[in-house]
Structure 1
Amino acid sequence: MSQRNHDTALRHRLGRTLRTPIGVTALTACLVVALVAVFGPTLLGAQAARVDTAAINEGSSAAHLLGTDQLGRDIAARVVVATRLTLRLTLLATAIGVGGGLLLGVAPAVLGRRAGRLITAVVGVLVAFPGLLFLLFLATIFGVGSTGAVFAVGLAMVPPMARLVQNLTASVAGADYVSAARILGVGRFRLVVRHLLPNIAEPSVLFAAQAAGGILVAFSGLSFLGLGVQPPDYDWGRLLNEQLNRVYVNPVAALAPGAAVVLTGLMFGLVGEVLAQAGGRRAPQARGTSAPRRPEKFVRDTTAGADGGPVVRAHDLRVTFPGGRQAVRGISLDIGAGEAVGLVGESGSGKSLTALALADLVPHPGQVSARTLRFDGHDLRADPRLGTALAMVFQDPMASLNPALRVGRQLAEVAEVHLGHTRAQAAARAVDRLGAVRIPSPERRARQRPHEYSGGMRQRAVIAMGLMGNPKLIIADEPTTALDVAVQKQVLDLLAEVREDSGAALLLISHDLAVVAQVCERVLVMYGGLIVESLPVTELLRGAAHPYTRALIGAVPTMTTAPGTELVTIPGRPPEPGEDSGGCSFAPRCERARERCHTAAPALAGFGAGREVACWYPVGGAAGGDPVGTAPRTTEATS
């Protein structure tokens, strides 16, 4: 999507908003105030400055609509002339407040943890301090006068603006698309400009516009107290001070500056509402469709990792959280080039954390450790950057796509950052990738935002994003969740087709054994943060040896399951992260468990060709015997 298309869409939404009653009112008010500020001093400046000793302190008349002041100057003309200075100082103070608030607000999201906490604490202390006292303190520090008042009022706005931006960016910074941008190596400035600020623009603009009204009142208050604008200059606050002692004699003259402050403050609020609506994410429907482009076949790369070994090699991989709680407790796995591996297990078994650990996306405060952790011959412990060699397909595609950006723009960013493409080249490649994942009318769809896509199309778009480069591994974390059966099959077929065309390896995470059996060649079964069985998918249904794997299979009905058949249920609950009984973690729920299972943990060991199982008494093993090559693991080894 080009910048011209983006600007055209923004103008369309702004024009549509201005045709609403709020938009018409705001536009009319802005035009009136702008005309008064621009032409008022030119037309009425001389009249406002003319001293007439014969007309001192007169009331309203045809010659003087609001009367005159103690020097015989026309009060109405002075109110009009004061508009320019009042607005200029208000906008300057607003710019200081908004700019400072944005800087302090986004800083914790892009700086280090310690610096971010320090800034957050400072902002919290300033917000807790009474706003009026803080304003008066700053006014005392900067001194009397227009310049000091601008800085005092502007800096007084910084803490509340920063707190709002911090709260907004905290919710956005944890989104999957921000994590993906980080791992893709997007710089801090680009991360803020492209991913954080657009998603907090609406509430921030509304707050800034409404705060401008508050700044107008605060600035007028300082001038009223004699701390702001000084003679011979004057603004609405100073005019109100001059006429306050005549409020009972000539109330119109005293209330006119105050009415100007109130009405202009309402105008700022209306402007904020209009801008917030115009910046909304409901883009107008693009007209016209284009013929779908014929998908381009990917260049097949069947080479193994750069070191000649598996694409992924992890040994003794652990994910630890504070308190010594290990959600992944020392697993080992290899994924060969072009291989499709399924990772299955109940919720909480550690599947997703394993994938996030491979991609260096484990959320804080989790810590990843491993004896060996290599991807494509690259040591991830020394440098976790993966570039475009790894593609992630997250469980919720709506959280994976930036709702404020058009889909094509998000895909194009990958090519710009990592492939060195120009904006036009990246946009063309984005359209090509959307066509490659069978999204119809890719040129039109590239100009749309994620909310205009169906669930299945969003999932395809995420896959297309991973294919902007040349991935050697695709990690799909529950890619068919919340999709209907027909769309599930389309997504799974697409993953299989992409793997066939690109030669990329696939790590498919799912709790649905039927999904894994359809796509994968090998299955890893996880329980309690450990891999308890590894076997070919062809032996999954009838040859599983671990009781837990058998229970998972028995809990899933098939087309051949007779009506009324009671499905297998697993009693009890999965272990909590860090919970270690000293024996087999599945023993409390296993009907085959014996005394040994509660005292010693079995290691993952060979159980036939291409198979491994961690069980003292596997299904199909010798009665009372151990799996081939097993050795008991101590509690320390599994903790």
Structure 2
Amino acid sequence: MGATTLVMLGTLAVPAVAGAVLWRTAADRPDPSAVLRGPTAEHLLGTDRLGRDLLARLLAATWPSLLPAVAATLLGAAAGITLGALTAVVGGRARRLLGALINLLLAFPALLVAMFFAALFGAGADGAVCALAVACAPGFARITQTLAATVAGTDFMAAARVLGLRRHRLLLRHVLPHIAEPLVLNTTVAAGSALVALSGLSFLGLGAQPPSYDWGLLLSQGLDRIYTEPLPAVAPGIAIAFAAVAFQLLGEVLAGAAARRARPRQPEEPTAHPARAGRPAAADHVLEVEDLRVVLPATDRVVRPVRGVTLALRRGEMVGLVGESGSGKSLTALAIADLLPDGARATWGTHRFLGADAGSSSRGERRRRLATGMAMIFQNPASAFNPSLRIGTQMTEAVRAHHGTPRAQAVEQALAALQRVALPGGRRLLRSRPFQLSGGQRQRVAIAAASMMRPALIVADEPTTALDVTVQRQIMDLLRRIRRDDATAILFISHDIALVADACDRVLVMYGGTIVENLPARELAAGARHPYTRMLVASVPDLAADRDRPLRTIEGGPPDPCATAPGCPFHDRCPHRLDRCAVESPVLSPLGPEHEVACWGPLPPAPFRGQRVTEAAATEAAETGMTETDVTETDVVEKEEAEK
């Protein structure tokens, strides 16, 4: 398409630039002896009423036909874009008035508006250009208004208003740069339509006037003899269509180039999902995943946020997934639920859900199994629900679609689910829309909707974030009740270490896109063996913490998800790193019953005397050669006080 468009534009550019020099004399020279002749070897398209060569006139009219169309498009685009963009920077009353004006202008067909203003401005090329600009301005205004509305509500626009920036600066710096690309593409495409419309005005006698001429006027003059000599009329029509298609293709090519520029580079990893043979599925496991990897393509690099995650969940088990922001927790959950964004690719060694291997199932079978056996509770229920649909419609949609439940029965099931999560309101609540509910109510509705399918696995991605403590406790009680009543496995993702330790059976600690430790929740405080887990637990403040001392933190930052450096991902931040840690990546290895750690030098168990072992205690133990059982946080604090 790009090569074709380039050839077509070049075909238009040559006569547009050279037409006045090469063909203007022949186009304007009359020949009384060759009036109204048909196509001959001397005159390929024939002659007009004055004996002028029609081919020369067609070529010479290229520039007078294209320039007014481009000018009218640019004028209309400038006026319409300005009018539409103003709706993003003016006040509420002015915004409503501008919106009403745009709607009023769009109520009239553009061609009728152009004809009216062409007659009002007077027949001629200048009047036709102005008339066409007025006619196409409302279309640009509506497109710009729609695009600008997405920018007007952003945080950076609010910050710019707080800073007191004037409207023209808001318009030029904060609104137009974010919507320029689609507007440029639309302007290019509109030039083709403007050419056709301007030719139509000339055809009707409202555009170019003799002795000037363009393709539309040539088409009008050749129409009288179309039944005897069709070529004088057909040739200008072909030229108009050819140029209009060239402008349309130019817009398509520019849009394709913009999409390719924004399209991230595809990952290098293959998309195949090789399953490990010879290992049967565990009967009590709902989910088994080994060596899960997620690759996200970026514009100039490949991001690998998940790098070999291995996990398994049994029926009725609640497993916590903790780690710093950016460690890959949510992407792991999305990969398990087959909800990765477009362009992202997931590979695995083993992926079994409800005993069925994902690699050997078709996409349709896998989707059906996930739709009925797995439920997802998203972090933000406000964006998880469709604001235009009622709560009852969204709660009953899944059971009606997958189980074929009648509507009345599905409504009764929804009422029972709402009662189960202690939400009053009944049918009145089902008739509500999501924005009419509070954050806690929306989250409980999300849990009720997830439980209606009686799924075998619920993935709860930070369901208690941004909720007050009372609502958090209610949400956790709901999850425990669902787990107990339906034997549902729950993968609970959270940043709240204390909440995970209290509610879950096991804890998976994630860092740098991989699981670094898998241990029972009861051992999280004292039995963690990976340095990162130990430091993560120590960074959680409690009521016994000294308020005069700064909170514990983990120095440094998480690893770059685009880097491919060998070794342990925690190597740069670990106070106990070994030479081996820099060159060889550890794998999950068993340390005890239900306890695995990915570390070449796991720490000894912490003392169980009600004292927390922190990073400082671990560092002190490494420096003095003592075991961590002998060095506690109290010892470190006493040493620091003595040094002071």
> Under a length normalisation based on structure 1, what TM-score does the superposition of the two structures give?
0.52
The alpha-carbon deviation at position 449 of structure 1 amounts to 0.9
The alpha-carbon deviation at position 334 of structure 1 amounts to 0.9
Distance 1:140 1:584, change over 3 A: same
Q: Distance in 2 between matches of 1:340 and 1:140?
A: 71
The alpha-carbon deviation at position 307 of structure 1 amounts to 6.9
Indicate which of 106, 109, 128 corresponds to 2:187. 128
Q: Distance in 2 between matches of 1:565 and 1:608?
A: 36
Q: For the Cα contact (< 8 Å) 2:518–2:597, is it kept in 1?
A: yes
The alpha-carbon deviation at position 528 of structure 1 amounts to 0.2
Q: Distance in 2 between matches of 1:474 and 1:144?
A: 68
Indicate which of 553, 556, 560 corresponds to 1:576. 560
Indicate which of 581, 585, 589 corresponds to 1:605. 589
Matched, 1:361 2:339: yes
Indicate which of 426, 429, 441 corresponds to 1:442. 426
Q: Distance in 2 between matches of 1:407 and 1:545?
A: 46
1:61-118 deviations in Å (ceiling 9; x for gaps): xxxxxxxxxxxxxxxxxxxxxxxxxxxxx9xxx9xx99xx9xxxxxxxxxxxxxxxxx
Q: How does 1:278-357 map to 2 (within 5 A)?
A: 308-322=283-297, 323-357=301-335
Q: Distance in 2 between matches of 1:417 and 1:141?
A: 52
Q: Secondary structure at the match of 1:441?
A: coil
Q: Secondary structure at the match of 1:475?
A: strand
Aligned residues: 364
The alpha-carbon deviation at position 494 of structure 1 amounts to 1.0
Counterpart in the other structure of 1:499: 483
Q: Secondary structure at the match of 1:572?
A: coil
Structure 2: gaps of 5 or more residues: 1-95, 108-134, 147-180, 205-240, 260-279, 607-620, 626-644
Moved more, 559-568 or 521-530: 559-568
Q: Distance in 1 between matches of 2:582 and 2:565?
A: 7
Distance 1:306 1:418, change over 3 A: farther
Q: Secondary structure at the match of 2:371?
A: coil
Q: How does 1:241-256 map to 2 (within 5 A)?
A: none
Matched, 1:423 2:398: no
Q: How does 1:271-282 map to 2 (within 5 A)?
A: none
Q: How does 1:137-536 map to 2 (within 5 A)?
A: 137=196, 308-322=283-297, 323-381=301-359, 382=361, 383=363, 384-385=366-367, 386-536=370-520
Q: Distance in 2 between matches of 1:614 and 1:325?
A: 22
Q: Distance in 2 between matches of 1:501 and 1:141?
A: 73
Q: For the Cα contact (< 8 Å) 1:345–1:525, is it kept in 2?
A: yes
Q: Distance in 2 between matches of 1:477 and 1:621?
A: 30
Amino acid corresponding to residue 310 of structure 1 in structure 2: H
The alpha-carbon deviation at position 318 of structure 1 amounts to 0.5
The alpha-carbon deviation at position 330 of structure 1 amounts to 1.1
Counterpart in the other structure of 1:549: 533
Q: Distance in 1 between matches of 2:192 and 2:306?
A: 52
Q: Distance in 2 between matches of 1:132 and 1:531?
A: 56
Q: Distance in 1 between matches of 2:559 and 2:185?
A: 44
Q: Secondary structure at the match of 1:387?
A: helix
The alpha-carbon deviation at position 597 of structure 1 amounts to 1.8
Q: Distance in 2 between matches of 1:494 and 1:542?
A: 28
**Sequence identity of aligned pairs in percent?**
45
Q: For the Cα contact (< 8 Å) 2:317–2:488, is it kept in 1?
A: yes
Amino acid corresponding to residue 558 of structure 1 in structure 2: D
Q: How does 1:88-107 map to 2 (within 5 A)?
A: none
1:551-600 deviations in Å (ceiling 9; x for gaps): 11111112333443543211110012132431111111111112222222
Q: Distance in 2 between matches of 1:354 and 1:427?
A: 33
Structure label with greater radius of gyration: 2
Q: Distance in 2 between matches of 1:139 and 1:388?
A: 58
Q: Distance in 2 between matches of 1:358 and 1:539?
A: 27
Q: Secondary structure at the match of 2:484?
A: helix
Amino acid corresponding to residue 405 of structure 1 in structure 2: L
Q: For the Cα contact (< 8 Å) 1:388–1:466, is it kept in 2?
A: no
The alpha-carbon deviation at position 349 of structure 1 amounts to 0.5
The alpha-carbon deviation at position 422 of structure 1 amounts to 2.3
Structure 1: gaps of 5 or more residues: 1-21, 34-89, 102-121, 146-151, 171-304, 626-639
Distance 1:588 1:137, change over 3 A: same
Indicate which of 566, 571, 577 corresponds to 1:587. 571
The alpha-carbon deviation at position 443 of structure 1 amounts to 1.5
Q: Secondary structure at the match of 2:295?
A: strand
Counterpart in the other structure of 2:45: none
Q: Distance in 2 between matches of 1:423 and 1:464?
A: 17
Q: Secondary structure at the match of 2:401?
A: helix
Amino acid corresponding to residue 465 of structure 1 in structure 2: A
Amino acid corresponding to residue 338 of structure 2 in structure 1: D
Q: Secondary structure at the match of 2:351?
A: strand
Q: For the Cα contact (< 8 Å) 1:499–1:506, is it kept in 2?
A: yes
1:203-251 deviations in Å (ceiling 9; x for gaps): xxxxxxxxxxxxxxxxxxxxxxxxxxxxxxxxxxxxxxxxxxxxxxxxx
Q: For the Cα contact (< 8 Å) 1:524–1:531, is it kept in 2?
A: yes
Amino acid corresponding to residue 463 of structure 1 in structure 2: I
Q: Secondary structure at the match of 2:290?
A: strand
The alpha-carbon deviation at position 362 of structure 1 amounts to 1.0
Cα RMSD between the aligned structures?
3.8
Q: Distance in 1 between matches of 2:303 and 2:557?
A: 17
Amino acid corresponding to residue 317 of structure 1 in structure 2: L
Distance 1:133 1:353, change over 3 A: closer
The alpha-carbon deviation at position 131 of structure 1 amounts to 3.3
Q: Distance in 1 between matches of 2:293 and 2:553?
A: 29
Distance 1:507 1:128, change over 3 A: same
Amino acid corresponding to residue 321 of structure 2 in structure 1: L
The one of the two structures with greater contact order (alpha-carbon pairs below 8 A, sep at least 6) is 1
Distance 1:307 1:140, change over 3 A: farther
Q: Distance in 1 between matches of 2:409 and 2:306?
A: 42
Q: For the Cα contact (< 8 Å) 1:554–1:567, is it kept in 2?
A: no
Q: Distance in 1 between matches of 2:533 and 2:197?
A: 68
1:416-445 deviations in Å (ceiling 9; x for gaps): 111112222222322221222111112111
The alpha-carbon deviation at position 516 of structure 1 amounts to 0.7
> Under a length normalisation based on structure 2, what TM-score does the superposition of the two structures give?
0.51
Q: For the Cα contact (< 8 Å) 1:307–1:376, is it kept in 2?
A: no
Q: How does 1:70-81 map to 2 (within 5 A)?
A: none
Q: For the Cα contact (< 8 Å) 1:460–1:491, is it kept in 2?
A: yes
1:40-64 deviations in Å (ceiling 9; x for gaps): xxxxxxxxxxxxxxxxxxxxxxxxx
Amino acid corresponding to residue 468 of structure 1 in structure 2: M
Distance 1:401 1:139, change over 3 A: same
Q: For the Cα contact (< 8 Å) 1:546–1:614, is it kept in 2?
A: yes
Distance 1:561 1:370, change over 3 A: same
Q: Distance in 1 between matches of 2:482 and 2:553?
A: 36
Distance 1:306 1:468, change over 3 A: farther
The alpha-carbon deviation at position 306 of structure 1 amounts to 9.0
